Structure 1
Amino acid sequence: MPLYEHVMIARQDLSTAQAEGLVEHFSTVLSDNGGSVVDSEYWGVKTMAYKINKNRKGHYAFLRTDAPSAAVQEMERLARLHDDVMRVLTIKVDAHEEGPSVQMQKRDERPDRRDRGDRGDRR
């Protein structure tokens, strides 16, 4: 089955338990339609770059799934209809990365940036 990564943003006025309950709800939608959730992470409340539905902040959640496209389409359809979910981004990936996502890693655990050798010597 294809592999997907999903990021959901829920309204800021939800409690943490309610936001994690949304993740569980959409995980069961995927599993009921023949998919499975490989990993899920709750990233917490974060400030957004711009307002969405008059909200400056939102609860962010991340899912790694192994599901058929019909299950993903059903989950996205239900997320669009849900009042508490503001945005959902779904990306099809070739393979899931091991360990926590970059958002959950500490700054000193992240790999160093690559050398920008194409810029030449700037003075």
Structure 2
Amino acid sequence: MNSYFLTLVLKPDLEEKTREELLGEIKKKLTMDNGKLTKDDMWGVRDLAYPIKKQAKGFYAHFEFDAEPGVIKGLDNSLKVEENVLRFLMVRV
């Protein structure tokens, strides 16, 4: 099992309920197959350095977790197709 950091930038205009549902799904995927979420920080809405998908701001969320490599591939694929995720960065530490 490896340790990872995941930082997400979500659309800033999402309703709180929709955002919480999306983040809940992501947390659920992180803890699949005996994964362990060690830290989650919601950084809130911040200005972007440059527009992404016509958005000048984004809602930032940061997770630190332990998971199997197979879980990472599935999570990566699902984040790529999620329309409410502007950008994400997942790094093994």
Same fold (TM over 0.5): yes
Unaligned runs of 5+ in 2: none
Q: Distance in 1 between matches of 2:81 and 2:33?
A: 18
- 1:91 correspondence with 2:82: no
- 1:9 correspondence with 2:24: no
- 1:47 correspondence with 2:62: no
Q: CA RMSD in A?
A: 1.3
Report which of the two has the higher share of helix: 2
Residue 37 of structure 1 deviates from its aligned partner by 1.2
Q: Deviations over 1:31-55 (max 9, x none)?
A: 2244221111111000000000000
SS in 2 for 1:25: helix
Matched length: 93
- Say which is worse superposed, 75-84 or 29-38, in terms of deviation: 29-38
Aligned partner letter, 1:70: G
Larger Rg: 1
Q: Distance in 1 between matches of 2:23 and 2:47?
A: 19
Q: Distance in 2 between matches of 1:41 and 1:21?
A: 16
Q: Distance in 1 between matches of 2:57 and 2:33?
A: 31
Unaligned runs of 5+ in 1: 94-123
1:1-123 pair list within 5 angstroms: 1-93=1-93
User: Identity rate of aligned residues, in percent?
Assistant: 27
Off by >3 Å, runs of 4+ in structure 1: none
Higher relative contact order, structure no. (Cα contacts within 8 Å, ≥ 6 residues apart): 2
TM-score by length of 1: 0.70
Q: Distance in 2 between matches of 1:41 and 1:17?
A: 17
SS in 2 for 1:13: coil
Q: Distance in 1 between matches of 2:45 and 2:27?
A: 20
TM-score by length of 2: 0.90
